[in-house]
């Protein structure tokens, strides 16, 4: 449960959450330390003020509070002493007038403890605590002490706190950003490799920095896995080439014999049957050619020969070339190329083959008296080459199957062809970092070859 | 036309089959099993064409062609290979081979290609010259063609097709060869493009009367009557 919740949190989300928590805790700590500091200082000052008031108002055993003269004398004595010289003392009479002391107050203070500020007009005091005590006969003793050990103490303290906690926050922020960047870069390296491999470049590997850290070990393990996969693929490709070759050799001999039979046939019936066998033999050979071609494309080596090309011209030329072929089969073929088209980088031969294949498919499966529309358009994603027919189309549930090798649909199995046409086009699309999409042309099939722009 | 051919192929069973088929077509065929023996054989004898397997022990096909060309020996070479990748083909042609065929190849196809490369060697004319085949005349440079002195209007591709047929008049050009040379494709389309264009060409060539000058060789290809 917890595990699942943790997995669901994204890395940036987690980073932000930790940062926010850290900020809250840091600020709270700062405020708490500040508050504790202030409370402690106030308590200490209050205790000192109490003690001094006790000294001034000390009475001899069995007697009442001393007279005003004595109190003033004590205040004077305390004012001269080094350790109590900073304490403000004032004695007021019952009528509220000042009787003596080393300070004068601007406002009457309530009995008991209170806070003082700079506005109270006591020289050298910006923040302080005051204690007003009854001194007998309506007189009052006011004791004042600073809560700041030196001038502008608060400002300095605030600055220290800001610099201290601020630098901690900056260090943590910087550290987390660096960490996120580092992790992001190393994971990005892996993702780039995975993308390259999906795109068919099986030789791509994750860079190893040589630091032997977790990421390096992960990258090395990943690369070993890729080496193994590449090795297996190489073996498989070799085997399929060998198989294709081994099968093609006897097929070629068979083909030779069949064509001799066609030539030497004694009557028409024999000739027709031999010709039918020859045609099937050719289908098989074409199938091997297509399989090997797909293997070649999926190997990705042809990317090395990619060059900038004018797709509009290629499509116009190829589709126009196919018009007589379509007409020969009783179809109409129209070509619409919307210029200007962004230049693309690709393999001229393969893109031509893709278009010839798609048009060939439309001719073959497009139904009687079909209309085939070839169009090239610029879209947000890049370029889309569409070949639409008005035949029976392919039901939505069968479209994925149609793109798979040997995935030709049962309903069309009676038709000639080897069923590798669409998978071949799909492989060509993938080689160009694009894709082949089959859709409903209402009625008919529209095959869209989508190529990314530059 | 009986030709003296050298077949260089390390797969003995395949080589014997192919040699038998080529002999059946009327050629004299010698077979050697590797590249060094091939170079030695060419020191002794003159051949009309060499059919050279690409992958062989000791000395491979590419090295053999390079050695031949470096020695100034210009005998036509058809490279034979099990590798069908386009890049392999480019390598083979760059090394100096005249044509490149994927194994297995039908004897008729190979025969057509042998004649084509030999014919190519005899060309001393430039593209500017007109080509004559029977009463058909083609001028590739000026994009024009005539039959029996009457001009024929041809589309670009049709003219290229007629040019190729006229250049090899009397010889068979297979569909694969036409797709390669006229269309410039490195793949064989599933659709009958060649047949459709040949039909159109026939219609245009016979519009002004006269017999069809293009002969269909069933299951193999086409030939323009010389």
| pLDDT tens digit sequence for A180-203 | 888 888 888 888 888 888 776 778
Residue in chain B closest to A289 (alpha carbons) equals: B84
A93 CB-near residues (< 8 Å, 6+ apart): A68, A99, A138, A139
Of the residues A103, A123, A151, which one is the last residue of a structural domain?
A151
Range(s) of chain B covered by CATH 3.40.50.2300: 4-122
CA distance B84 to A450: 27
Domain that holds residue A78: 11-151
Of the residues A151, A178, A196, which one is the last residue of a structural domain?
A151
In terms of DSSP H, where are the helices of A265-367? 268-299, 311-328, 348-365
What pLDDT shows up at residue A66?
Answer: 83
Do A445 and A317 share a structural domain?
A: yes
Structure tokens at B128: 């500017």
Structure tokens at A235: 């073996």
CB contacts of B200 in chain A (<8 Å) are 324
Q: How far is A256 from chain B (nearest CA, A)?
A: 6
Is A159 within the bounds of a domain? Answer: no
CATH number of A375's domain: 3.30.565.10
- Please check the confidence at residue A415 and state whether its pLDDT lies above 70: no
Do A319 and A262 share a structural domain?
A: no
Residue B97's SS3 state is coil
pLDDT tens-digit map of A15-50 = 788 888 888 988 888 888 888 888 888 899 899 989
Per-residue pLDDT band at A414 (split at 50, 70, 90): very low
Domain count across chain A: 3
Do A412 and A330 share a structural domain?
A: yes
Do A372 and A231 share a structural domain?
A: no
Q: How far is A360 from chain B (nearest CA, A)?
A: 6
| Residues B17, A324: C-beta atoms closer than 8 Å | no
- Please check the confidence at residue A299 and state whether its pLDDT lies above 80: no
Is A320 within the bounds of a domain? Answer: yes
- Please check the confidence at residue A157 and state whether its pLDDT lies above 50: yes
Do A341 and A276 share a structural domain?
A: no
Do A315 and A286 share a structural domain?
A: no
> Residue A93 has what DSSP assignment?
-
Chain A to chain B Cβ contacts (< 8 Å): 92
Query: Chain A contact for B196, CB < 8 A?
Result: yes
| Residues A417, B103: C-beta atoms closer than 8 Å | no
Do A91 and A61 share a structural domain?
A: yes
pTM: 0.64
Q: Which of A292, A296, A360 sits opposite B191 (nearest CB)?
A: A360
What pLDDT shows up at residue B109?
Answer: 86
| Residues B105, A252: C-beta atoms closer than 8 Å | yes
pLDDT over 70 percentage in chain A: 92
CATH code, residues B131-224: 1.10.10.10
Is A2 within the bounds of a domain? Answer: no
Question: Of A111 and A385, which is predicted with more confidence?
Answer: A385
pLDDT tens-digit map of A325-375 = 999 999 999 999 987 777 889 999 999 999 999 999 999 888 778 899 999
Short-list A31, A228, A33, A45, CA closest to A128: A45
CA distance A416 to A282: 11
Range(s) of chain B covered by CATH 1.10.10.10: 131-224
CA distance A362 to A370: 9
CA distance A387 to A446: 6
B 56-85 residues inside an 8 A Cβ radius of A: 82-85
Lowest mean pLDDT among A103-107, A277-281, B35-39: A103-107
- Please check the confidence at residue A418 and state whether its pLDDT lies above 80: no
Q: Which of B157, B183, B190 sits opposite A357 (nearest CB)?
A: B190
Is A179 within the bounds of a domain? Answer: no
Token match 């169009």: residue?
A375
Q: Which helix (H) or strand (E) holds B136?
A: strand B136-139
- Asked if B182 and B131 count as a contact pair (C-beta separation under 8 A), the reply is no
Per-residue pLDDT band at A413 (split at 50, 70, 90): very low
Structure tokens at A363: 């001719």
Do A273 and A219 share a structural domain?
A: yes
CATH code, residues B4-122: 3.40.50.2300
Rg (CA), chain B: 19
What pLDDT shows up at residue A387?
Answer: 95
Per-residue pLDDT band at A245 (split at 50, 70, 90): low
A202 CB-near residues (< 8 Å, 6+ apart): A226, A229, A230, A233, A299, A300
Q: Which of B191, B192, B199 to mutate to test the interface with A (most CBs of A within 10 A)?
A: B191
Q: How far is A280 from chain B (nearest CA, A)?
A: 12
Do A309 and A443 share a structural domain?
A: yes
Do A94 and A59 share a structural domain?
A: yes
Is A54 within the bounds of a domain? Answer: yes
Lowest mean pLDDT among A108-117, A127-136, A253-262, B190-199: A253-262
Is A202 within the bounds of a domain? Answer: no
What pLDDT shows up at residue A416?
Answer: 47
Q: How many CA atoms lie within 13 A of A301 on its CB side?
A: 11
| Residues B157, A321: C-beta atoms closer than 8 Å | yes
Do A114 and A61 share a structural domain?
A: yes
Do A379 and A248 share a structural domain?
A: no
Question: Of A317 and A166, which is predicted with more confidence?
Answer: A317
CB contacts of A353 in chain B (<8 Å) are 185, 187, 189
Query: Chain A contact for B156, CB < 8 A?
Result: no
Q: What is the average pLDDT value for chain A, to the nearest integer? A: 83
Q: Which of A247, A254, A255, A350 to mutate to test the interface with B (most CBs of B within 10 A)?
A: A255
- Please check the confidence at residue A417 and state whether its pLDDT lies above 60: no
CATH number of A238's domain: 1.10.287
Of the residues A299, A324, A348, which one is the last residue of a structural domain?
A299
Provide the residue-wise pLDDT of chain B in tens; the chain has 226 residues: 789 999 999 888 788 888 988 998 899 999 998 889 999 999 888 999 999 988 887 888 889 999 998 888 889 999 988 766 666 777 888 888 999 888 778 788 899 999 888 887 766 555 557 888 889 999 988 888 999 888 999 998 999 999 999 988 988 999 999 999 999 998 888 888 999 999 999 999 998 888 999 999 877 899 999 8
């Amino acid at each position: 449960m917890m595990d699942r919740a943790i997995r669901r949190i994204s890395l940036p989300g987690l980073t932000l959450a930790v940062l926010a928590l850290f900020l809250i805790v840091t600020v709270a700590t700062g405020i708490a330390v500040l508050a504790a500091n202030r409370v402690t200082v106030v308590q200490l000052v209050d205790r000192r003020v109490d003690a001094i008031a006790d000294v001034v108002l000390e009475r001899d055993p069995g007697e009442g509070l001393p007279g005003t003269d004595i109190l003033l004398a004590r205040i004077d004595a305390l004012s001269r002493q080094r350790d109590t010289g900073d304490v403000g003392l004032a004695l007021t009479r019952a009528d509220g007038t000042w009787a003596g002391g080393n300070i004068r107050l601007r406002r009457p203070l309530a009995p008991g403890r209170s806070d003082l500020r700079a506005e109270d007009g006591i020289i050298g005091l910006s923040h302080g605590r005051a204690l007003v005590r009854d001194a007998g006969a309506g007189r009052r003793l006011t004791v004042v002490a600073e809560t700041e050990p030196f001038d502008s103490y608060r400002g300095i303290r605030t600055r220290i706190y800001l610099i201290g906690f601020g630098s901690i926050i900056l260090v943590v922020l910087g550290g987390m950003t660096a960490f996120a960047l580092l992790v992001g870069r190393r994971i990005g390296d892996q993702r780039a490799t995975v993308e390259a491999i999906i795109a068919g470049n099986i030789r791509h590997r994750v860079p190893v920095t040589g630091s032997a850290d977790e990421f390096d070990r992960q990258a090395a393990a990943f690369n070993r896995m890729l080496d193994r996969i590449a090795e297996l693929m190489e073996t498989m490709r070799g085997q399929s080439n060998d198989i294709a070759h081994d099968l093609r050799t006897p097929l070629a001999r068979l083909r030779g014999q069949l064509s001799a039979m066609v030539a030497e046939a004694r009557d028409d019936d024999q000739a027709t049957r031999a010709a039918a066998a020859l045609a099937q033999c050719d289908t098989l050979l074409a199938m091997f050619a297509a399989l090997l071609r797909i293997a070649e494309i999926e190997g990705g080596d042809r990317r090395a020969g990619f060059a900038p090309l004018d797709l509009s011209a290629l499509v116009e030329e190829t589709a126009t070339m196919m018009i007589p072929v379509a007409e020969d089969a009783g179809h109409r073929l129209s070509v619409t190329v919307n210029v200007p088209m962004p230049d693309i980088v690709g393999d001229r031969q393969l893109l031509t083959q893709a278009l010839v294949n798609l048009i060939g498919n439309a001719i073959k499966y497009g139904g009687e008296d079909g209309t085939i529309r070839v169009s090239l358009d610029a879209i947000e994603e890049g370029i889309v080459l569409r070949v639409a027919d008005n035949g029976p189309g392919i039901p939505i549930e069968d479209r994925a199957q149609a793109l798979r090798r040997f995935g030709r649909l049962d309903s069309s199995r009676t038709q000639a062809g080897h069923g590798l046409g669409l998978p071949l086009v799909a492989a060509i699309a993938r080689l160009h970092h694009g894709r082949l999409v089959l859709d409903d042309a209402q009625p008919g099939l529209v095959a869209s070859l989508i190529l990314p722009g530059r | 036309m009986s030709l003296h051919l050298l077949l260089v192929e390390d797969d003995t069973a395949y080589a014997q089959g192919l040699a038998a088929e080529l002999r059946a077509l009327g050629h004299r065929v010698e077979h050697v099993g590797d590249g060094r023996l091939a170079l030695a054989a060419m020191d002794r004898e003159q051949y009309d064409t060499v059919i050279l397997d690409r992958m062989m022990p000791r000395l491979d096909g590419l090295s053999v062609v390079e050695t031949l060309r470096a020695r100034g020996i210009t005998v036509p070479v058809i490279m034979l290979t099990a590798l069908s990748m386009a890049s392999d083909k480019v390598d083979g042609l760059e090394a100096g081979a005249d044509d490149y065929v994927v194994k297995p190849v039908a004897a008729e196809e190979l025969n057509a290609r042998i004649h084509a490369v030999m014919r190519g060697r005899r060309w001393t004319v430039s593209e500017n010259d007109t080509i004559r085949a029977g009463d058909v005349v083609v001028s590739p440079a000026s994009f024009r063609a005539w039959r029996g002195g009457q001009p024929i209007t041809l589309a670009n591709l049709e003219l290229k097709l007629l040019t190729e047929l006229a250049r090899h008049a009397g010889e068979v050009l297979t569909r694969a060869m036409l797709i390669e040379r006229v269309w410039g494709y490195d793949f064989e389309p599933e659709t009958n493009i060649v047949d459709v264009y040949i039909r159109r060409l026939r219609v245009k060539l016979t519009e002004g009367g006269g017999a069809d000058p293009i002969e269909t060789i069933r299951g193999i290809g086409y030939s323009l009557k010389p």
